[in-house]
A and B are shown apart, each in its own frame.
Chain A
Amino acid sequence: MKKYAKPQLLAKNLPTGSYAAGCGMYADGHGCKEDCKRCEGAR
Chain B
Amino acid sequence: MLIKQSKNSYIRCTNRYGYIVNQLTKHDRVYNDVGANFLSKIKRYPQEIEEIVKSLAEEYEGISYEELMKDFIDFVVDLEGTKFVITGNTVEEINEKDENFTYAIDKPKTLEIDFTQHTDKAISQNTQDFFREEVQGHPLIKNLQFELSSRCNERCIHCYIPNSKKNVGIDMPLNKFKEIIDEYSSMGGISVALSGGEVFLHKNMIEILRYCRKKDLKITILTNLTILTDEHIKVLKEVDVSFIQTSLYSMKSEIHDSITTVKGSFYKTKNSIERLVANDIPVQISCPTMKANYRDYKDVLLYAQSLKIKAQTDFIIMARADLDKENLANRLTLEETEYLLRDIMKYDPKYRDMSLYLRPRSDEILLNYDNFVNEPLCGVGYDNCCITANGDVYPCAGWQNYVLGNVYRQSLRDIWENSEKIKYLRKITQASFPQCLKCEAFQYCSRCLVRNYNESNGDMFNIPKHFCDVAFLNKRIREEYEKTVINQMSNNE
Chain A residues in the interface with B (C-beta under 8 A): 1-43
Contact = CB atoms under 8 A, between A and B. Distances in A.
A26 B361 CA distance: 23
A1 to B, nearest CB: 4
A29 B126 contact: no
Nearest to A31: B245
B433 interface: no
B446 A24 contact: yes
Contact of A24 (B38, B158, B193, B450): B450
Contact of A19 (B60, B115, B474): B474
B143 to A, nearest CB: 5
Nearest to B25: A13
B191 A35 contact: yes
B448 A24 contact: yes
B117 interface: yes
Interface string B224-245: 0000000000000000001101
B160 interface: yes
Interface stretch (B28-36, B179-187, B201-209, B417-425): B28-36
B245 A19 contact: no
Nearest to B61: A1
Given A11-B29, A11-B30, A40-B115, A29 B286 contact: yes
Chain A interface helix/strand/loop/mixed: loop
Q: Which of A9, A13, A24, A33 has the most CB of B within 10 A?
A: A24
B117 A13 contact: yes
Contacts of B367: none
Contacts of A14: 116-117, 124-127
Contacts of B119: 9, 12
Interface string B22-66: 000011111110110010000000000000000000011111000
Interface in B317-365: 317-318, 351, 354-355, 358, 360-361
Given A7-B75, A30-B247, A41-B358, 13 more contacts: A9-B35, A10-B17, A11-B127, A14-B127, A15-B114, A16-B126, A19-B474, A24-B450, A29-B159, A29-B286, A31-B246, A35-B142, A37-B128
